[in-house]
Each structure stands twice: as structure tokens, then as C-alpha cells.
Structure 1
Amino acid sequence: MIEDRRWEGVYSFEDSPFLMEVLTELRDKNTDSIAFRKGLVKLGRYMGYELTKTMEFEKIKVETPLEETKGVIAKDRKNIVIITVLRAAIPLMEGLIKTLEHARVGIISASRGKPPEFEIDVKYVKIPEIKPEDTVIITDPMIATGSTLTAVIQEIKKYNPPKRIVVLGVLAAPEGIEKIKKKFPEVEIFITKIDRELNSKGYILPGLGDAGDRAFGEPTKV
């Protein structure tokens, strides 16, 4: 895990050969939907493990069949709310919840409009109770313009304030991170890799295309 010096509280996993290999497969235009979904699940699970390194642990005593010894329990790991941004984040959430099995899960449906405005339409919100001791993890594979996530974070802030708000994703453009950190400097961002830039259509370069379409198929045009 590497902290990016351009911002406070922004981390990437470019030092992990395993995650870089998974990301390489996701980038490949020839990777089919099944393999793409499986790759997102792998990333979610592994990044969940890494995220626990930033959580609070409590030292305890435990009795083995032979003697007493020292152990730990992760208090924060049992106080997790995962907010899934439909639809591309579903496999990412599936991987996360394999590590953070106590998590309560919420859903937000938010769609991004056309350039250059990129207006965000939040259509559906279903969030469980948020407690002061909770870590809220927002899963969204692509942090592109940052518009969707700023809208989602604004929605979450209507509820009780949690201990932490964390954004977890696969790829990010510097422009998107900058927008989020400028409006919500306290939000932490964990991303597999930070890419170069956005194009005029708001896609990350080099990127991997539309994560939702690649995971679940392109929607029917009417």
C-alpha cells in the first residue's frame, strides 16, 4: 500500500504484483464478462484484507488447548457499512464482504449524465443505520470525474456521522480524486491504481472501459 503524496489519505496498491496482474487482465479488451467479474471480486477481497491494516485492534487473552496466549480482535472489522454504487460495484462488494463478513450493506443508484456537465442523477437510496463507531466503505470501481462519488458522499452525510468514510475502487483519474478531496478532505481513498487522466468524454485513460458494461453487458438501447 502506497500513500500518494499529492493528497492526504489517498492510497494505491501499485506495489502489489498480484493486484497489478489482476488489473492487467481487467484492462485487456479481450477479457470476457465472467473473467471480468471474477477479477473485481479478487480485487475487493484482497483490498479488504489490506484495509484491515488501517483498523483498530484490541489485544486479548485466549486459551489454546495447551495454555493461555495473547491474541487480537479487530473491533472496527465488526462495525462496517458497505455502500454499493450500482451496478459495476456489485462484484467489488462481493469480494469485500468475504473479508468483512459482518458488514451491513447499502445500495445507491446514481447515473452520470453527458459531458461536459456530467450531471448526477441519484435515483435510489437504501442505507442501513450508520453508527458513530462505523467505517463506511463506498465501493465504486471507477473514480473518473468524481461527480458520482461526491453526490453519493453528500447523500451519506444526511445520516449519522460515522467514524470513517472510505472510498474503495479499482482505477482513478487525478481529476476525480482532486474533486472528492477538495469537497470532502476527511474522506479516505483506497484505489488499486491511479491512472493518467480523463478524456473529453470523462473516461479514465488508459483505463479499462465502462466497468458496468464489461461486467454485466451493455444495456439495451431504446
Structure 2
Amino acid sequence: MVVNLSKHYSVLCDWINEIRDMEVQIDRMRFRRNLERIGEVAAYEISKNLSFNQVDTQTPLGISSSKSLQEQPILGTILRAGLPLHQGLLNYFDKADNAFISAYRKHHPDGSFEISLEYITCPDLENRVVILSDPMLATGASLVKTIQALREEGNPKEIHIVCVIACTVGIEYVHRNEPNVKIWCGAIDDELTAKGYIVPGLGDAGDLAYGIKQQS
């Protein structure tokens, strides 16, 4: 399943436009906040698909019968670019357990790269709902490698991926390797360069949020 959150207009479309806009991108705080707000929208939409219980709540004047989340999800993110998006999800799932993964492109002199995964910290994932955030779903290689590594910590009953910009090539790659994951995108672009960058995309989300890094 793939959900394009900007298929129909909402204010999220304006936030997507801002994070793509080179003139607006220079404001790092605004860039991070827009990623965070997109994460909040994704959290709200995902929550509609999660299991709930019927609950009775005592008010000063009586009993209110309503619904409540059955179980808190585990929110996982890929460092460092995923942190603002993760915070947006955490703002809504504020009692969630959390996981953090270091996965990045290790570049070679010939221009090729491989995905290096060096660090994972997470709770037991067995039979839990996992929501994994990464702003850019380009080739899909880092997300697939991350999911495979997370499965060594337990077998989740559901996996949701939240990204800001996804490429159709990456979506297809993820679903070939992990056919049951649900992908929630702020927007979907069709083109991927030979070096694995999304076009028109928005550039390097980590650099725009936190400053330019030394290339590894």
C-alpha cells in the first residue's frame, strides 16, 4: 500500500513546496519545522489505521464512551536526516517507544556507493507496530537494509514507512523486498539520477536540516 498525502490539496502541499524551494531552504529552522509538521500529518493519518479499544472515561458530569489506541507503536528513524520527521511523529504518538538506526551511503571513488549500517538501538519489536521514518525514499536500499536489520530484533506485525519525498523506483524496490509494508509519502517524484538522487526532489535533507557534512 502506498499513500500519497499530497494527492489532494491540503496545507501539507504548501509545506512540501517550501522544503523544495531553494530560497526558503536557507532557513534551516523552517526546513526542520516543515519536516516535523509533515510527520505530524502522517502520524494522524496512520493513527486511523491502528487498532483501538472501546473505553469509558469518567468526566465531572458522567461517563464518556469513546475509543483509545490499543497499543503504542515503535517509532524508528534513520539518523540524521530523519530526526525532525521522527519528532513530528513523536509529537502525536507521545507515549511511543523509539528506535534509532545509523544507515548512510558510503561513497566510493568511482561514484558508486553502498549502504553502511553501523548502529541500531531499539526495544523488542516482536508483534509490534513499527513506524519507520526517513525523509527521502530514493533507491530504497537503505530502508530495505534497515528493515532487514530490525527484523533481527523481533518480527513486527506491521511496518509503516513515512517519507517526505519518495521516488517510484524506490517504492517499487521496497515492495519487491518487503511487500507488506505500508508507505506514506508527502509527495512522489518519478525520476532518479544515475547517482541515486530524486528529481526534482529537494536536495540533501540532512544537510538542509543540520548543515553540510563531510562526504564519506
Is 1:86 the counterpart of 2:79? The answer is yes
Partner of 1:118: 113
Match status 1:186 vs 2:180: yes
Match of 1:167 among 158, 161, 170: 161
Conserved in 2, the CA contact under 8 Å of 1:144 and 1:172? yes
Secondary structure (helix, strand or coil) at the match of 1:93 reads helix
Distance (whole Å) between structure 1 residues aligned to residue 215 and residue 99 of structure 2: 28
* CA–CA separation in structure 1 for the residues paired with 2:59 and 2:9: 34
Match of 1:50 among 45, 54, 59: 45
* CA distance in structure 2 between the partners assigned to 1:42 and 1:16 by the alignment: 16
Cα deviation for residue 59 of structure 1 reads 1.5
- List per-residue Cα deviations over 1:154-201 (Å, max 9, x = no partner): 101112111211111101000001101001101111111111211122
Q: CA RMSD in A?
A: 1.7
Using the TM superposition, give the Cα deviation of residue 128 of structure 1 relative to its aligned residue in structure 2, in angstroms.
1.8
Task: Identify the match of residue 60 of structure 2 among 53, 60, 65.
Answer: 65
**TM-score, normalised with respect to structure 2:** 0.92
Instruction: Tell me how many residue pairs correspond in the alignment.
Output: 211
User: What is the 5 A alignment of 1:1-222?
Assistant: 9-14=1-6, 15-31=8-24, 32-76=27-71, 78=72, 80-114=73-107, 117-132=112-127, 134-220=128-214
Give the Cα–Cα distance (whole angstroms) in 2 for the partners of residues 117 and 158 of structure 1: 28
Q: 1:105-137 CA deviation, whole Å, 9 max, x = no partner?
A: 1111111134875311111111222232x2111
Gaps of 5+ in 1: 1-8
Secondary structure in structure 2 of the residue aligned to 1:131: coil
Quote the Cα distance in structure 1 between the aligned partners of 2:211 and 2:4.
Answer: 28
Counterparts of 1:157 and 1:100 in 2: how far apart (Å)? 22
**Runs (5+) with no aligned partner, structure 2:** none
Partner Cα separation in structure 2 for residue 117 and residue 54 of structure 1: 39
Instruction: Decide which moves more: 15-24 or 176-185.
Output: 15-24
Deviations 1:200-220 (A, max 9, x none): 221111110000001111014
Q: Which amino acid aligns with 2:188?
A: I
Secondary structure of the equivalent of 1:185? coil
TM-score, scaled to structure 1: 0.89
